[in-house]
């Protein structure tokens, strides 16, 4: 049986002088030594695409490309100076040039005319990347890792493509689909789900339980389940970058995984940052980190990024499309088309069915749909959250009352998403005079997370996207935000007599800077602690919300007691998760209507409550699996 590459070559004239044909994941890339064919081949390539129904790209052979030094001068001459080019990097293996600019729109030109001119003049294929409005060493390092390992990436992507097209046009098997719950079943934390077909093994997310320490056996997914074999794993799909979904992935590379991770570009960057932060926190707390920065770098090197609504094959019988989940920057609903129309699954990860201050609402319309596996974090009938506006007004009231008594406001936040949402709210409130203009201190990692947000404005809702394009209106560039990097700076903020807002991770107070700040602020009643995110069972945050006043940070033998005298509030309504009402509305608006809904990522009572209501109101079969249960979908 002819391979797909042989099929492609049948339709290409010999005069095309094809020097190489390779895979880049699911894409097929042809390199030509014929300059005329490169510029006048649209008809041939289009016919091939129509024939095989796969994406095919034609590039010039590297021998045709202009000298790099000369090409860089030409590129800077073609692109308007106002675009503010910050970097030009050449990928000589793939005839690609990456151009980083502060204003990508000016670098692209009207309908891509500048890009076409660069191709014509230099024979390099240009890609434009946005220079973050806030400089981040992390983003620079991630991009440098990818650029420096271009030869590795080329070989890796080719191997991924060979696996995807293994058995192209193979005869039909006795097809089946099942999913194993390795984590996240009737609990919030360690989300991890294994999709299996006769042909493929795909992992959906792989995180830790944030309310546990790394020494707890139940902090991690059940990777010892009999059906999970790392050597057989074809791919990982990462829905978003919170640690309960992403933070075990570098560990899989440490243990020998060599396959791809599929996610959006901001998810890749944010996940890498949070995994590095986990290493830092473990080291500071005297624990052995789960993995090293080398393993995180390996994870980045094996990531294949996708835009929303970009369709790609990831195995011979699984095709995925990522859609906006509205949860945080780059978060995705994962649509999986399995087999030749055999089954269609949506895995929601975490999602928000509401337009927030940052993001548009999660998508509900899909090409085909039989099964939905969705979160139920706030799935209980009792989870009736106030509106976003009511929550914001309550936050402003808490801040104003604390400032009156010259206190400080500590906001433990999730590093990704919630913190930027709160930043936008506070910047707007200070600009409008709703709260006093006081400093807002950001723990070091939050600064890098915010920098990543400024690099990807296309993922925001229309209002924030417009504001980020201009320095004068970009909320993240306001001078009210101050970066805290060192222990000395942290202590100076605590010791100062000024009122201020301190935003620090972790949001669940299971380690990180928020716990360090709490220890020093807790015993002064003029200060205030405000939780803005979910506090799982067993976390310090949940204990404080339950009214615990005496917290022992030491041991029974050597106690280190902290007595809580500051005010403690839980701010509901500013959530990245859907409320109970929004979860029900999401199901109502799903198009097409699914046959089955699997409820995960929620405490047992919330999963069961939501499942009962969905079945009652919509007559859809519901399942609330425990960890280690297996569900056959077909």
Task: Encode 359-387: b = buried (16+ Cβ within 10 Å), e = exposed.
Answer: bbbbbbebeebbbbbbbbbbbbeebebee
The tokens for 176 are 């089946």
Place of tokens 């104003």: 400
CA distances (Å), 11 to each of 17, 72, 148, in order? 13, 35, 35
Contacts (Cβ under 8 Å, ≥6 apart) of 435: 396, 399, 400, 403, 426, 429
Could you read off the pLDDT of 572-605 as tens digits, one per residue? 877 788 999 999 999 999 999 999 999 999 999 9
The tokens for 353 are 């069915």
Q: At what angle do helices 265-284 and 293-301 cross, to 10 degrees?
A: 170
Could you read off the pLDDT of 238-291 as tens digits, one per residue? 999 999 999 999 999 999 999 999 999 999 999 998 899 889 888 887 888 999
Place of tokens 């299996």: 196
- What strands, in cross-sheet order, belong to the sheet with 567-570? 481-484, 440-443, 501-504, 409-412, 528-531, 567-570
| Residue 375 dihedral angles phi and psi, to the nearest 5° | -70, 155
Contacts (Cβ under 8 Å, ≥6 apart) of 9: 18, 21
Torsion of CA 201, 204, 209, 214, to 10 degrees: 50
d(CA 248, CA 214): 11
- Tell me if 524 sits within 8 A of 566, measured CB to CB: yes
Prediction pTM value? 0.91
Could you read off the pLDDT of 592-601 as tens digits, one per residue? 999 999 999 9
CB half-sphere exposure, 217, CA atoms < 13 A: 1
Place of tokens 């200060």: 527
Written in H, E and C, the secondary structure of 30-60 is EEECCHHHHHCCHHHHHHHHHHHCCCEEEEE
Task: Please choose, from the candidates 427, 226, 404, 416, the residue with its C-alpha nearest in 3D space to the C-alpha of residue 327.
Answer: 416
pLDDT of residue 37 exceeding 50, the answer is yes
**Residue 329, class by beta-carbon neighbours within 10 Å (0-12 exposed, 13-18 middle, 19+ buried)?**
buried
d(CA 507, CA 515): 9
Could you read off the pLDDT of 76-120 as tens digits, one per residue? 999 999 999 999 999 998 999 999 998 888 889 888 899 999 999
Could you read off the pLDDT of 534-549 as tens digits, one per residue? 787 778 888 898 888 9
- Tell me if 599 sits within 8 A of 584, measured CB to CB: no
Count the neighbouring beta carbons within 10 Å of the beta carbon of residue 158: 14
Percent of the chain scoring above 70 in pLDDT = 98
**Integer-rounded Cα radius of gyration of the chain:** 25
Map residue 102 onto helix, strand or coil.
coil
Contacts (Cβ under 8 Å, ≥6 apart) of 520: 494
DSSP 8-state secondary structure symbol assigned to residue 288: P
d(CA 100, CA 81): 13
pLDDT of residue 38 exceeding 90, the answer is yes
Determine the distance from the C-alpha atom of residue 365 to the mean position of all C-alpha atoms in its chain, rounded to a whole number: 21
| Residue 374 dihedral angles phi and psi, to the nearest 5° | -130, 155
d(CA 408, CA 35): 66
The tokens for 363 are 């998508």
pLDDT tier for residue 387 given thresholds of 50, 70 and 90: confident
Structural domains for the chain:
4-63 (3.30.300.230), 74-131 (3.30.300.20), 176-381+577-632 (3.60.15.10), 388-570 (3.40.50.10890)
Could you read off the pLDDT of 315-371 as tens digits, one per residue? 999 999 999 999 999 999 999 999 988 999 999 999 999 988 889 999 999 999 999
Contacts (Cβ under 8 Å, ≥6 apart) of 488: none
Percent of the chain scoring above 90 in pLDDT = 66
Torsion of CA 132, 534, 291, 284, to 10 degrees: 90
d(CA 324, CA 326): 6
């Amino acid at each position: 049986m002819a391979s797909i590459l042989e099929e492609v070559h049948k339709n290409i004239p010999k005069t095309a002088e094809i020097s190489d044909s390779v895979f880049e994941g699911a894409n097929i890339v042809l390199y030509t030594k014929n300059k005329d064919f490169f510029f006048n081949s649209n008809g041939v390539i289009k016919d091939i695409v129509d024939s095989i129904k796969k994406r095919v790209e034609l590039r010039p052979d590297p021998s045709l490309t202009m000298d790099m030094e000369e090409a860089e001068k030409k590129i800077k001459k073609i692109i308007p100076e106002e675009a503010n080019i910050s970097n030009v990097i050449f990928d000589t293996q793939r005839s690609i040039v990456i151009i980083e600019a502060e204003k990508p729109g000016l670098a692209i030109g009207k309908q891509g005319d500048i890009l076409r001119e660069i191709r014509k003049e230099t024979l390099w294929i240009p890609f434009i990347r946005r220079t973050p409005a806030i400089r981040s060493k992390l983003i620079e390092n991630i991009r440098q890792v990818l650029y420096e390992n271009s030869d590795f990436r080329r070989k890796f992507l080719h191997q991924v493509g060979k696996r995807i097209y293994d058995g192209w046009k193979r005869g039909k098997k006795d097809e089946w689909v099942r999913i194993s719950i390795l984590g996240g079943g009737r609990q919030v934390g360690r989300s991890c789900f294994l999709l299996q077909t006769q042909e493929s093994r795909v992992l959906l997310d792989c995180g830790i339980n944030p309310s546990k320490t790394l020494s707890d056996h139940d902090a991690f997914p059940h990777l010892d389940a009999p059906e999970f074999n790392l050597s057989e794993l074809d791919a990982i799909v990462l829905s978003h970058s919170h640690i309960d979904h992403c933070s075990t992935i570098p560990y899989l590379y440490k243990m020998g995984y060599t396959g791809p991770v599929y996610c959006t570009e901001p998810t890749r960057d944010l996940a890498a940052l949070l995994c590095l932060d986990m290493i830092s926190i473990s080291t500071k707390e005297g624990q052995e980190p789960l993995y090293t920065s080398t393993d995180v770098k390996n994870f980045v090197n094996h990531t294949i990024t996708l835009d929303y609504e970009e369709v790609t094959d990831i195995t011979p019988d699984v095709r995925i499309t990522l859609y906006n989940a509205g949860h945080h920057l780059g978060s995705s609903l994962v649509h999986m088309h399995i087999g030749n129309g055999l089954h269609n699954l949506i895995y929601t990860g975490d999602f928000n069915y509401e337009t927030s201050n940052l993001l548009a609402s999660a998508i509900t319309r899909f090409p085909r749909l039989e099964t939905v596996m969705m979160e139920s974090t706030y799935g209980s009938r009792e989870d009736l959250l106030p509106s976003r506006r009511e929550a914001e007004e309550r936050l402003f009231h808490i801040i104003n009352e604390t400032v009156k008594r010259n206190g400080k406001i500590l906001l433990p936040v999730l590093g990704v998403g919630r913190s930027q949402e709160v930043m936008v709210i506070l910047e707007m409130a200070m600009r409008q005079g709703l709260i006093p203009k006081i400093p807002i201190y950001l723990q070091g990692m939050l600064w890098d997370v915010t920098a990543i947000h400024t690099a990807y404005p296309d993922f925001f809702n229309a209002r924030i996207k417009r504001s980020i394009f201009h320095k004068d209106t970009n909320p993240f560039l306001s001078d009210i935000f101050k970066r805290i990097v060192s222990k000395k700076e942290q202590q100076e903020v605590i010791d100062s007599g000024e009122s201020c807002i301190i935003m620090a991770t972790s949001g669940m107070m299971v380690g990180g800077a928020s716990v360090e700040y709490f220890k020093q602020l807790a015993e002064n009643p003029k200060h205030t602690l405000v939780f803005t995110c979910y506090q799982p069972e067993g976390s310090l945050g949940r204990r404080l919300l339950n009214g615990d006043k005496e917290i022992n940070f030491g041991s029974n033998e050597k106690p280190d007691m902290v007595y809580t005298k500051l005010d403690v509030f839980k701010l509901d309504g500013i959530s990245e998760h859907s409320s109970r009402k929004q979860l029900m509305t999401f199901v109502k608006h799903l198009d097409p209507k699914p046959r089955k809904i699997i409820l995960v990522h929620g405490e047992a009572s919330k999963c069961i409550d939501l499942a009962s209501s969905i079945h009652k109101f919509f007559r859809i079969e519901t399942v609330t699996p425990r960890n280690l249960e297996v569900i056959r979908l077909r």
